[in-house]
């Protein structure tokens, strides 16, 4: 049995091409997936580091310096995250670097994007990696590490692990995840390299995300990878952290200097109660942050919740409300909440709060004609007039795992992207000031061509700018930190 108790996890860059350039999708935040894995392994007695290569390259480290850093490690196993689609090329480049340094140390990949494209990855890249962890990874990674520690090689029969055998067979047994949420160790940003000091106006070193729920979103939106059927990641039903657990996690983040806190998962889906309990607990324990960011979808909470969110003990509370379309017809096509009168009641209540209140919107949606886009345009103007500004407008991404892709014939959708390699382009496209990315349009329709999508996107961004700059709420929103930009993709 090996006495080595060290595991190295890596958050990759997007690509060497964009190593020092901001990609279309942001890449600097710490992955809470890797933080969760690190915490679980540490609880089992292992020493774990996380090398954040996107952060390293952006802060002046060279490829040679990163190679030297990896050479100083000799773990039981390397784990590379491919949580987001724009990490794909960087993941492969990192795996190749490790292979050239250590030919025999196992390399496994995990994360949401890797899970969805696991079969593509093991089919095409088994010369670079040993396999993919599919779904929630704590137990799977631990068992893989233990198998290498005890036997010298990865056990390919570990549930939740997909690999390609020498005869070409793809081996995979799904894992049923039963870990109780509150039994999971608390996350910590300690052990993430490099440690970057905040510069003037730079909030990134102070940002931390809280994991509140696992097991997918209860709504089966046709285009969404978090939909209940797709987003379970090994769980048979959704599971939430308790308000007490969340408050303790927040306290630990604050102790580490993390003061810009984000909740971007579907915490809202259990209604007002758990949110109100968490805020009450944070207020009681005086867990004050510089900023607290909540993500809300229509149809799950009452309009009263926005006043509750406003009371969170933070210098600034931000609420991101996901409307996506102003057309009830299109929302129905997507299997989304579609009652615009109810949405406007929420918007009116949200706009009256002293919060950084924003909404986001999509186009290139199923069955969406130019008339439907104009309904979205009117909804954008109406929400801005009510004090809820626009966070971003972007084109919908069509993923081959989604129900919409499988039923695309119902809306005459022509898909351009079909596999892992097709989506690798997201790793090589830089951020643009105008926010227009023709090469990232994933599909078109006879009633909305690719050219139509780009034209309509420009129109909507112009509408956002005009409505925002003339809004009576602009001064208030700027004081809260709102910045109008055209370049955000997501």
Say which residues have a Cβ less than 8 Å from residue 6's Cβ, sequence separation at least 6. 46, 47, 48, 49, 73, 74, 75, 76
Q: What is the reported pLDDT for 3?
A: 61
Dihedral pair phi/psi, residue 170, rounded to 5°: -95, 120
Q: What is the reported pLDDT for 218?
A: 84
pLDDT at 243 over 90: yes
CA dist 23 to 125, 178, 276, 435, Å? Answer: 24, 37, 36, 11
Quick: pLDDT tens for 69-90. Answer: 999 999 999 999 999 999 999 9
The residue count of the chain comes to 490
- Residue 486 structure tokens: 């055209």
- Residue 186 structure tokens: 């608390």
With contact defined as beta carbons under 8 Å apart, do 222 and 407 qualify? Answer: yes
- Rounded distance, CA 328 to CA 339, Å? 7
Quick: pLDDT tens for 156-193. Answer: 999 999 999 999 999 999 999 999 999 999 999 999 99
Place of tokens 């959708």: 413
Domain covering 7-172 assigned CATH 3.90.550.10 in the classification: no
Q: What percent of the chain has pLDDT over 90?
A: 91
Q: What is the reported pLDDT for 199?
A: 77
Q: What is the reported pLDDT for 1?
A: 38
pLDDT at 228 over 90: no
Q: Can you tell me the mean pLDDT for 389-397?
A: 95
- Residue 358 structure tokens: 């924003």
Q: What percent of the chain has pLDDT over 70?
A: 98
Say which residues have a Cβ less than 8 Å from residue 270's Cβ, sequence separation at least 6. 213, 240, 300
Quick: pLDDT tens for 349-376. Answer: 999 999 999 999 999 999 999 999 999 9
In b/e form, how buried is each residue of 284-314, taking b as 16+ CB within 10 angstroms?
Answer: eeebebebbbbbbbbebbebebbebbbebeb
Quick: pLDDT tens for 276-328. Answer: 999 999 999 999 999 999 999 999 999 999 999 999 999 999 999 999 999 99
With contact defined as beta carbons under 8 Å apart, do 486 and 402 qualify? Answer: no
Domain covering 199-479 assigned CATH 3.80.30.20 in the classification: yes
Beta bridge partners of 214: 239
In the chain, where the domains are located: 7-172, 199-479
Q: Can you tell me the mean pLDDT for 328-340?
A: 95
Q: What is the reported pLDDT for 59?
A: 94
Instruction: Note if the pTM is more than 0.85.
Output: yes
Quick: pLDDT tens for 445-463. Answer: 999 999 999 999 999 999 9
Give the ranges where 318-449 is alpha helix by DSSP (H).
328-333, 340-351, 370-385, 403-406, 420-423
Sheet of 314-324: strand order equals 207-209, 260-263, 289-296, 314-324, 356-363, 389-395
């Amino acid at each position: 049995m090996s006495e080595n108790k060290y595991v190295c996890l890596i958050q990759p860059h997007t690509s060497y091409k964009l190593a020092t350039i901001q990609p279309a999708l942001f890449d600097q935040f710490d992955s809470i997936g890797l933080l969760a894995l690190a915490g679980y392994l540490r609880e089992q007695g292992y020493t774990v580091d996380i090398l954040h290569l996107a952060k390293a390259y952006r802060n002046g480290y060279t490829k040679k310096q990163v190679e030297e850093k990896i050479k100083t490690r000799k773990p039981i196993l390397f784990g590379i995250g491919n949580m987001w689609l724009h990490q794909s090329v960087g993941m492969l480049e990192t795996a190749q670097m490790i292979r050239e340094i250590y030919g025999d140390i196992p390399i496994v990949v995990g994360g949401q994007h890797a899970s969805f494209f696991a079969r593509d990855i093991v089919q095409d890249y088994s010369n670079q990696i040993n396999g993919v962890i599919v779904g929630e990874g704590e137990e799977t990674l631990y068992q893989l590490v233990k198998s290498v520690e005890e036997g010298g090689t990865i056990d390919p029969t570990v549930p939740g692990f997909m690999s390609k055998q020498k005869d070409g067979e793809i081996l995979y047994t799904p894992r049923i995840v039963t870990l109780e949420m509150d039994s999971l160790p608390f996350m910590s940003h300690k052990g993430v390299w490099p440690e970057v000091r905040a510069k003037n106006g730079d909030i990134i070193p102070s940002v931390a995300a809280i994991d509140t729920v696992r097991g997918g979103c209860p709504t089966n939106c046709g285009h969404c990878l978090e939909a209940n059927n797709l987003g379970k990641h090994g769980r048979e039903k959704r599971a939430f952290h308790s308000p007490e657990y969340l408050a303790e996690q927040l306290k630990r983040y604050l102790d580490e200097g993390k003061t810009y806190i984000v909740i971007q998962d579907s915490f809202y889906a259990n209604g007002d109660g758990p949110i109100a309990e968490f805020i009450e607990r944070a207020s009681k324990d005086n867990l004050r942050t510089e900023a607290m960011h909540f993500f809300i979808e229509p149809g799950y909470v009452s309009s009263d919740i926005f006043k509750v969110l406003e009371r969170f003990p933070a210098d600034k509370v931000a609420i991101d409300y996901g409307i996506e379309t102003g057309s009830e017809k299109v929302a129905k096509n997507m299997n989304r909440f579609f009652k615009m009168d109810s949405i406007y009641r929420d918007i009116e209540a949200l706009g009256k709060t002293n919060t950084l209140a924003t909404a986001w919107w999509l186009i290139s949606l199923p069955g969406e004609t130019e008339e439907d886009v104009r309904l979205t345009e009117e909804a954008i103007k109406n929400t801005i007039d009510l004090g809820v500004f626009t966070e971003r407008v972007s084109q919908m991404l069509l993923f081959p795992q989604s129900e919409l892709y499988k039923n695309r014939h119902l809306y005459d959708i022509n898909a351009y992207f079909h596999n892992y390699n097709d989506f690798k382009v997201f790793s090589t496209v830089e951020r643009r000031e105008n926010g227009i990315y023709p090469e990232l349009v994933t599909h078109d329709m006879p009633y909305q061509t690719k050219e139509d999508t780009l034209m309509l996107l420009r129109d909507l961004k112009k509408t956002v700018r005009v409505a925002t700059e003339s809004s009576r709420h602009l001064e208030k929103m700027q004081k809260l930190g709102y910045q109008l930009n055209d370049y955000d993709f997501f």
